[in-house]
Amino acid sequence: MWLPQLVVRLALWLLLAPLLPGLINRVKAWVAGRRGPPVGQLYYDLAKLWRKEVVWSTLASPAFIVGPAVAWVAVVGAALLLPLGPAGAEWSFRGDVLLLLYLLALARFATAWAALETGSAFEGMGAAREVSYAVLAEAALITAVVSLSLQTSSVSLTTMLAPTAGAGAVLLAAGLFTVLLAENCRVPFDDPNTHLELTMVHEVMILDHSGPPLAVILHGAAVKLLLFSVLLVQAVVPLDQFSRGVAVAVLAGGVLSVTLGVGLVESFLARLAFRRVPLLLTTAFLLCLFALLVAWKGGVQ
């Protein structure tokens, strides 16, 4: 019984994820008045990359390939831990939220590791930047998780994400949205479209990857974006107050509007200078911290 369910869920995550970057590009094109690439562009890209051969650096160890694979598995595993509205999670147990955080960290470690394997200075720089952003973003994410767990007195994602976040919901939404932008290397932290090595963050890490490994990395990034959107929507919107069908619709609509939001942010904001990034991430941390404070005070009263 559980096997078909797993397959359906996995297919949903894996197949829907590449839609999000396409949608974001569509929004950007629409704002700029261009036609833009088709929504399914990433699917074509992935298919094309999958057919290409891999170029190996003579310096690289097998970790060059293993890294992206581990990262992809970690992200997909994290996605399976996340409940999907009324459908619940694939696996749910006490403390699964910690596993989720660790899987995301593992994915980042594996990507950075693979980037360092190339032995190129640029990749090293990109990895350093990505990791230093991540330190700050992770602080915010952990604070958000703590505030969620505090107001529901639970450390299991299924119960944590179920009720509404109350008065702190606005703070939490703003904080998590900023974390989403930082974790997924979107504007204003990073510009996915830039091709100037000096200013790239995530893109420069994967500069030397090609063929199927690159496809895996791109797909993993798309899954991660979907994962964060779903997390954000469920942390803020009280889905359990709706009936089953409506809840699914609300979840889908929420994810869609988050995607639209990312697209709009990318259209209207410029990338921040590097030295200003910590300030914004600190702000995200503080937003989550105040959400925590509200949750804590609300719990006392």
Partner 1 sequence: MSGTLNVLIGLAMGLNLVALGSSRLPALIQAMSLQGVLLGVMPLLLEEEGFNWRVAVVAAATVIGKGIVIPNLLRRATRAANIERESDPFLGFVPSLLLGAGGTIAAVALARALPLLPEHAGTLLVPGAIASILTGFILLIGRVKAISQVCGYLILENGIYLFGLLLIHSTPLLVESGILLDVTVGVFVIGIIVDRIQRAFDSLDTRRLTTLRE
Contact residues toward partner 1 (CB under 8 A) are 278-279, 282-283, 286, 289-290, 293, 297
Shortest distance (Å) from residue 36 CB to partner 1: 33
Identify the residue whose tokens are 């994962």.
Answer: 227
Query: DSSP assignment, residue 6?
Result: H
Q: What angle do CA 201, 204, 210 make, to 5 degrees?
A: 140
Nearer to partner 1, 59 or 279 (CB): 279
Nearest distance from residue 147's CB to partner 1, in Å? 13
Residue 168 Cβ, how far from partner 1 at the closest point, in Å?
11
> In terms of CB distance, is 6 or 279 closer to partner 1?
279
Question: Position of tokens 């797993």?
Answer: 6
Q: Which CB, 164 or 282, lies closer to partner 1? A: 282
Smaller CB distance to partner 1: residue 1 or 273?
A: 273
The two tokens of residue 81 are 């831990």
Q: Show the tokens assigned to 43.
A: 């699917």
Token pair listed for 278 = 């910590």
Among the listed residues 207, 189, 230, 44, the one whose alpha carbon sits nearest the alpha carbon of residue 116:
207
CB of 281 to partner 1, least distance (A): 9
Instruction: Give min distance, CB of 185 to partner 1, in A.
Output: 21
What's the sign of the alpha-carbon dihedral 198, 202, 203, 209? Answer: positive
The residue among 192 and 278 lying less far from partner 1, judged by its C-beta, is 278
Nearest to 232 by CA among 261, 202, 272, 267: 261
